[in-house]
Chain A
Amino acid sequence: MDAPVTFDAELLRRYDRPGPRYTSYPTAPQFGPQFTEERFRAAALRSNAEPIPSDLSLYVHVPFCVSPCFYCGCTRIITRDRARGGLYLERLIREVGMVAPLFDRDRDVIQLHFGGGTPNFLDVGELAALVGSLGRHFHFSDRADRDFSIELDPRTLAPGDVGRLAALGLNRASLGVQDFDPEVQRAVNRIQGVEQTLAVIEECRASGMRSVNVDLIYGLPKQTLEGFARTLDALLAARPDRLAIYGYAHLPELFKGQRQIEATDLPDAALRLELLQLAVQTLTTQGYRFIGMDHFALPGDDLSKAQAAGGLHRNFMGYTIHDDCDLVGLGVSSISHIGDSFSQSYRDLPTWERAIDEGRLPVWRGIELDTDDVLRADIIQQLMCQGEIDIARTEEQFGIGFRAYFPEALAKLSALAADGLVTVEPGRIAATSRGRFLLRIIAMCFDRYLATSQAPRYSRAI
């Protein structure tokens, strides 16, 4: 995917329709209650039985936030009561004690990510206890390229916190910014200063963290081109290694917090596109590489290098350089991907707590992939990471004839090809430079479940 990305507003407008983000295939709406605790244990056993069991990737969810950002669609609990963090931590550590023994000790943890909510709702001492517990129950890799990362809210960090987190072994940080425009910040209930944010980026660098990611959102209420341009300028002065530009999905019927946002304050479709275009042009002019979906990185960043070498992968935590890890989710609502299975823990805190208290794994729902799912997941992964499908390799690996197996997908693709999103050749199907912003639209052609799931569950493509 070395071709430059071309911003084609007309095309993007035409394809601005709801679609999954494909952090998994099948996507979460396909998970069901037939996937139980026993299935989870069996999947872990099977994964240990592989001749070379995969390395592990741990995701830990901390659901608490001190105040609600109105745009947020994550599983979170708003509270100022810090004691709740301590109680949650106790149970998390018990969950680690139940889950870790399911995995053979020689399986290294190569990736660790704290997400939320706000992971730094827990204080540094609590996070140290958690990392300590994880390190005792699992085996942390000592490879230099291991990724141990944490999402940070700059508003709730005390001076010196970042250095102490780095000392725990965390080597990547991800900061939420969204937009620095005060009008927008008021409308989404997230007041966060430029100085405060840049100081945290500096602190990450000073304490030796390998990379800093910043999340921005376009399509927020009250957002303007001028304001967003100022946000980009202020941020790019600090040259974060990675940037994610997410499109805000207004789904108030699904996410209660979003009901605080006045629909009339939202930018219209044309402005949304202009905001995205502004971000893409600014970033590419400033030397950032487009990684895929909504992600950009500096050329020297591991993601850019992996993409150039064809070694880019994608999981629930986004893009990664680590191949085929088994992903173990810990904490409320977290998602696991063990072997050919996906599963998710209980999403509401009391149910999750009860399971832990009763010594049960908090498995809520999941799915076991059949061979058709595995094949389609591989194709979607190729698209999301390389921007193209290698037909010969796919046929060889899965023992299929591509044309005979995918008549419907190919029919849908030919319409996209006519619009210039993809080229379909005998050996490969590739997103064009204009289609690279619409990878999910291309991937949807291969999604067997789309016909049966309800559209409003997904955010729009742009």
Chain B
Amino acid sequence: MAVPAPGRGQPIADDGDQFNFCSTCAFSGACLDAGVDKGRLRELHMLVEHTSPCRTGEHLFREGDPFNAIAAVRSGTVKTYVTDADGREQVRGFFLPGEVIGLDAISESRYPCNAIALEPVVLCRFSFPNLSSLAARMPGLQQHLFRLLSHDIGNAALLAGNHTAEDRMAAFLIGLSRRYGARGFRADRFQLTMSRADIANYLRLAAETVSRILRRFQDERLVRVRRREIELLDLPRLEKAALTVLRS
């Protein structure tokens, strides 16, 4: 029986082609700004390799693997993490559709962390040597790479500093909201595709604390949580709480 699927699925970018980027592509801004001609654009597209989907729980790369490509997430969520001396996992970050992973590997030519698919993930891979040589001929692309790099560093700094658990949670939610919003997805309602344990690890909180804070936010009508889905009901108040963290 053919029934249209209810539209609760995860954000996924439209398919690109030879001349058009996927709607969320991390590089779509690179060429348009700089007035790149069609031929160049095509060259960039030729670098793109849509990988076959990774299964949930599959590693995209591991710490120490040689670096040869950066990748943009086309659909799904990727988690990066390192393992500390005691064998405990430390979550570094989450990458959403349209975001680029592997930038922090450029300097050492090896991946400094592990990357794992939190749900089925499709990537667009860009061979790094080819991308570099193209960037040398395309100033727009070069600039864009720099922008991506500095943004990546900014993300890492997001949760440093001595902030309350509530403010960190607010900053985390506002961060996700802005990132989804920037790529044309709903900014006020999305799935938390990472587990409670991953959120807790990332924010350096206990799992119970994550739930306790979200329950409090829910009682204060800041958010509504339904299974994995979260709805931000009061963006201004969340922004205010997040500000102390995002500013530092």
Q: Is B196 an interface residue (CB 8 A)?
A: yes
**Total A-B residue contacts, Cβ distance less than 8 Å:** 55
Q: Is B3 an interface residue (CB 8 A)?
A: yes
Q: Is B235 an interface residue (CB 8 A)?
A: no
Least Cβ distance of A190 to chain B in Å?
A: 43
Cβ-neighbour of A405 out of B1, B4, B211 (below 8 A): B4
**Across the interface, which residues of A come within 8 angstroms of B1, CB to CB?**
448
Provided the pairs A339-B227, A448-B1 are in contact, do residues A51 and B211 lie with their beta carbons within 8 angstroms?
yes
Residue with the greatest number of chain B CB neighbours at <10 A, chosen from A50, A52, A397, A399: A52
On whether the beta carbons of B7 and A50 are closer than 8 Å, the reply is no
Least Cβ distance of B181 to chain A in Å?
A: 18
On whether the beta carbons of A104 and B207 are closer than 8 Å, the reply is yes
On whether the beta carbons of A51 and B230 are closer than 8 Å, the reply is yes
Provided the pairs A339-B227, A448-B1 are in contact, do residues A49 and B195 lie with their beta carbons within 8 angstroms?
yes
Q: Is A375 an interface residue (CB 8 A)?
A: yes
Least Cβ distance of B94 to chain A in Å?
A: 14
On whether the beta carbons of B7 and A398 are closer than 8 Å, the reply is yes
Q: Is B218 an interface residue (CB 8 A)?
A: yes
> CB-defined interface of A239-275 with B at 8 Å, one 1/0 digit per residue?
0000000000000000000000000000000000000
On whether the beta carbons of A50 and B196 are closer than 8 Å, the reply is yes
Residue with the greatest number of chain A CB neighbours at <10 A, chosen from B196, B197, B208: B196
Least Cβ distance of B175 to chain A in Å?
A: 15
**Across the interface, which residues of B come within 8 angstroms of A52, CB to CB?**
211, 214-215, 218, 225
Q: Is B171 an interface residue (CB 8 A)?
A: no
Q: In the complex, what distance in Å separates the CA atom of A49 from the CA atom of B8? A: 18
Least Cβ distance of A20 to chain B in Å?
A: 18
Q: In the complex, what distance in Å separates the CA atom of A261 from the CA atom of B4? A: 48
On whether the beta carbons of A106 and B6 are closer than 8 Å, the reply is no
Provided the pairs A405-B3, A448-B1 are in contact, do residues A53 and B8 lie with their beta carbons within 8 angstroms?
no
On whether the beta carbons of A400 and B211 are closer than 8 Å, the reply is no
Q: Is B9 an interface residue (CB 8 A)?
A: yes
Least Cβ distance of A416 to chain B in Å?
A: 21
On whether the beta carbons of B5 and A53 are closer than 8 Å, the reply is no
Give the residue name and chain of the A residue nearest to B1 (CB).
A448
**Across the interface, which residues of B come within 8 angstroms of A400, CB to CB?**
4, 6-7
Provided the pairs A50-B196, A50-B227, A52-B215 are in contact, do residues A398 and B6 lie with their beta carbons within 8 angstroms?
yes
On whether the beta carbons of B4 and A53 are closer than 8 Å, the reply is no
On whether the beta carbons of A372 and B211 are closer than 8 Å, the reply is no
**Across the interface, which residues of A come within 8 angstroms of B31, CB to CB?**
none
Cβ-neighbour of B3 out of A49, A50, A339, A372 (below 8 A): A372
**Across the interface, which residues of A come within 8 angstroms of B197, CB to CB?**
48-49
Q: In the complex, what distance in Å separates the CA atom of A164 from the CA atom of B196? A: 40
**Across the interface, which residues of B come within 8 angstroms of A453, CB to CB?**
none
Residue with the greatest number of chain B CB neighbours at <10 A, chosen from A51, A106, A399: A51
> CB-defined interface of B125-146 with A at 8 Å, one 1/0 digit per residue?
0000000000000000000000
Q: Is A158 an interface residue (CB 8 A)?
A: no
Q: In A22-72, which residues have CB < 8 Å from any B CB?
A: 48-53
Least Cβ distance of B76 to chain A in Å?
A: 15
On whether the beta carbons of B211 and A399 are closer than 8 Å, the reply is no
> CB-defined interface of B178-219 with A at 8 Å, one 1/0 digit per residue?
000000000000001001110100000001101100110010
Cβ-neighbour of B196 out of A53, A374, A398, A405 (below 8 A): A53
**Across the interface, which residues of B come within 8 angstroms of A49, CB to CB?**
195-197
Q: Is A371 an interface residue (CB 8 A)?
A: yes
Give the residue name and chain of the A residue nearest to B7 (CB).
A399
Q: Is B151 an interface residue (CB 8 A)?
A: no
Q: Is B228 an interface residue (CB 8 A)?
A: yes
Q: Is A404 an interface residue (CB 8 A)?
A: yes
Q: In the complex, what distance in Å separates the CA atom of A53 from the CA atom of B227? A: 7
On whether the beta carbons of B230 and A106 are closer than 8 Å, the reply is no
Q: In B142-195, which residues have CB < 8 Å from any A CB?
A: 192, 195
Residue with the greatest number of chain B CB neighbours at <10 A, chosen from A50, A397, A398: A50
Q: In the complex, what distance in Å separates the CA atom of A399 from the CA atom of B189? A: 12
On whether the beta carbons of B8 and A371 are closer than 8 Å, the reply is yes
**Across the interface, which residues of B come within 8 angstroms of A398, CB to CB?**
6-8
Least Cβ distance of B7 to chain A in Å?
A: 3
Least Cβ distance of A380 to chain B in Å?
A: 15
Q: In A370-393, which residues have CB < 8 Å from any B CB?
A: 371-372, 374-375
Give the residue name and chain of the A residue nearest to B118 (CB).
A49
On whether the beta carbons of A399 and B228 are closer than 8 Å, the reply is no
Provided the pairs A49-B197, A53-B196 are in contact, do residues A106 and B8 lie with their beta carbons within 8 angstroms?
no
Cβ-neighbour of B228 out of A50, A372, A374, A448 (below 8 A): A50
Q: In the complex, what distance in Å separates the CA atom of A448 from the CA atom of B3? A: 10
> CB-defined interface of A315-346 with B at 8 Å, one 1/0 digit per residue?
00000000000000000000000010000000
Between-chain CB contacts (< 8 Å), 6 pairs: A48-B196, A50-B228, A51-B211, A51-B230, A400-B4, A448-B1
- 3 closest A-B pairs by beta carbon, nearest first, are A399-B7, A49-B195, A106-B208
